[in-house]
Amino acid sequence: VLFAVCCPSGRLAETFPKRLEDTPTFPFYPEKEDAVYREGIFVGYRYYDIKRIEPLFPFGHGLSYTEFQYSDLAVEVKHTKKENQSDTTLDGGAQDVLVLVSLTVKNTGKMAGKEVVQLYVQDVYAPVLRPEKELKEFAKVLLQPGESKRVTFELNRRSFAYYDEKAKEWRVHDGKYTILVGASSRDIRLQAQVEAFHEKVNDIPEIHRNIAIKEAFRFPETVQQARELMNRLGISGMTEGTPFYELFSNFSIRAVCRMVGVNDEEMEGFLQKLRLASSKAKAKGSNGAE
C-alpha cells in the first residue's frame, strides 16, 4: 500500500472527532466509579449526525489511490407480504424482501481498486425518536480502471424497523423513507425516497392507549371522533399523504389526548368505542376501512 503496489480499501468502523469536546462522553467522563453511557441509540456516527458536529474522519471513511463514481440509482418497491401479516409489525415477515436498491459504480481512476458502497435508511416522519440515518447494508466491489459494475441491495422489513419497548417487538410504520447511498456516513452520493407499506390487510391490531391514532381512522364508528381530536391539535382538514398527517397520525392515542386536554375517563370511552369497532370488524373478517 505504501508504495502504491495495491490500492487500500479499508473503512473506518468508528468516528474520529476533531476535538475531545465533541465526544458525547466529554461532559461526564471520567467519573469516579462508574462510566455511564448516555447516548442511548445515538451511538457513534448517529450522535454526530443529530448534533450536527463535523467530524475529523466520519464513520465509513477510507482512502484510495483511485476514484469512484456513483450513478443510476434505482429503487424498486416489492410487495411480498404474506397473507394476514400486519402492516406495522414484523412478526413472521422480517426476512421478506420489500425494496430492491441498485446503482452503478465506476472506477474513474487509473488503478484497480475496491470501493465500499454503503446504504443508509432515513425515517422521514418517525413516530418515535430515531437516528437521522441508519446503516443497513454495504458491499465491497472490485473494479479495474474504467470498469463499471451494478451493485444491488435487498432490504426487508427489519431494514425499516424500530424496537417498540412497550409492545416488546420490532415495528414498521407507514410512511416515507429515504434511501441514502454513499462512500461514508458523510459522503452521500445518491438518494431516493420510497413510501412503504400501504397494502390492505385483514389484520386488526390490539387496541390500547399506546397504538397510533391513525388506527381509529380505519373504522366508521371512530373515524369522526379521531378527526375531532386531530382538529383540536389545530390540523383541520388533515388528509392522508400530507406531512401533517404522516407526522401526527403516528402519535399514540394517549399522546394526542394529553396534548388536547382529554382526561383519562374520556380517553377510555374513546378506546372502548374503538375496541367495539375492532371486534365488529374482526367478526366480519373485514379490515374496518370505510
Question: How would DSSP label each residue in 90-133?
Answer: -TTTTTSEEEEEEEEEEE-SSS-EEEEEEEEEEETT-SS---S-
Which of the four pLDDT bands, split at 50, 70 and 90, describes residue 202? very low
Contact between 76 and 99 (Cβ < 8 Å): yes
Contact between 114 and 9 (Cβ < 8 Å): yes
Name the most confidently modeled range: 125-134, 183-192, 255-264: 183-192
Find the mean pLDDT for residues 27-52. 81
C-alpha 54: how far from its chain's center? 22
Q: Does the pLDDT of residue 11 top 70, yes or no? A: yes
Upper half-sphere CA count for residue 41 (Cβ side, 13 Å):
13
Give pLDDT tens digits for 86-125: 443 333 344 566 789 999 999 999 999 999 999 999 988 7
Contact between 41 and 123 (Cβ < 8 Å): no
What architecture (CATH level 2) is domain 20-24+39-82+95-197?
A: Sandwich (2.60)
Look-up of cell digits 371486534: 279
Find the mean pLDDT for residues 210-232. 75
Angstrom distances, CA of residue 103 to CA of 141, 180, 257, 276: 12, 11, 45, 49
What is the 8-class DSSP label of residue 16?
A: B
pLDDT of residue 199: 39
- How far is residue 179's CA from residue 202's CA, in Å, rounded to a whole number? 29
The boundaries of every CATH 2.60.40.10 domain in the chain are: 20-24+39-82+95-197
Whole-number percent of the chain with pLDDT over 70: 78
pLDDT of residue 236: 54
Contact between 209 and 253 (Cβ < 8 Å): yes
Q: Which helix H or strand E contains 48, and what residues bound it?
A: helix 45-50
Whole-number percent of the chain with pLDDT over 90: 35
pLDDT of residue 246: 65
pLDDT of residue 94: 47
